[in-house]
A and B are shown apart, each in its own frame.
Chain A
Amino acid sequence: MKRYVYVAASLVILVGAGAVLAVAGDDPPEAPPWLAADGRIDPAKAPDEFEVSGPDGKKVVCANGRTLKVRKEQLLGPPPRTPDQLRADGAAGGGGDLVWRCGPGRNPHLNAILIPRTQDPLGEDQR
């Protein structure tokens, strides 16, 4: 009888621990690999690609079933255009609500585009 009590108690502890981990979602975070010892960002140490979330908070999955990947150069900078190019293009200052989406082509998951949410073809469905 005592043995059954021990087994039951162990199961309760394991299930409880599992529930805590499930709520937490994952293992505890690791410091981002792109964080240098002096606290600055070292893009060379960043992963080559990052996964991104849509407005619904879930990872963006493309029509081919693959998770969208964004190259680190598209995320970490420096900006791709010079001030002269921005001025010539009549660029806005930015700061609007943007979303990452799959691009065109045979590999849309490798062709990420960042677009204004107002132009999001998936619109309200992804909120």
Chain B
Amino acid sequence: MAAAGSAYAHTLLSYGTTFKDSDLCVFGSAHIQHGSAVIDSGADVMSVSNGPYLGCTGDKAQDPYWIALRRQLYRWETSSWVVCNDSGWVYNTTRTAQVFHQRTFQSAICGARYYGTLGSGYVYQNVGGWSGGGAWSDYHWLPA
């Protein structure tokens, strides 16, 4: 899992491999961004082929409902992380290898706090069921 930050617009992004077996890799990412006027919370999940020589490379398209993603915006309060906004499970409705979800807020909807995005992404396999995991954007102070 790797993390990246940007001074411009204060973006925090984390991404990496959340699952790998002999023919599937699942990539996940989560980000939180604070621009001049709005806040973006986003996540995505990618289904990637895992070949014997090339490793994790190339899209591995999946039928509808075989990719699931959930994006949750958390806020820090006193001594714990509280869910501030929850996308629920989002599924691909067409054959594809990626699902992305982003929500833009006009302000820090749960007040002036530290916020972070958790992205949970899974790909379904006939053997093994839902395979994947989560990515955490790291946290960022957001003014009200």
Give A contacts to B, CB under 8 Å.
23-30, 32, 34-35, 38-41, 43, 47, 50-53, 55, 57-59, 70, 75-79, 82-83, 86-87, 91-96, 98, 100, 114
Q: How many B residues, CB 8 Å from partner?
A: 53
For A29, the chain B residues whose CB sits under 8 A away are 76, 81, 114, 116, 139
Among the interface residues B70, B80, B89, B130, which one has the most CB atoms of the partner chain A within 10 A?
B89
Q: Is B47 an interface residue (CB 8 A)?
A: no
Residues in chain A near residue B101, CB distance under 8 A: 95
* B84 adjacent to A26 (CB under 8 Å): no
**Chain B contact residues, CB within 8 Å of chain A:** 1-3, 14, 16, 18, 63-66, 68, 70, 72, 74-93, 101, 109-114, 116, 118, 120, 122, 124, 129-130, 132-136, 139
The answer to whether A40 and B81 touch (CB under 8 A), given A77-B68, A93-B90, A94-B88, is no
Q: Does A78 contact B132, Cβ atoms closer than 8 Å? A: yes
| Cα A23 to Cα B110 with chains together (Å) | 14
Q: Which residues of A contact B90 (CB under 8 A)?
A: 93-95
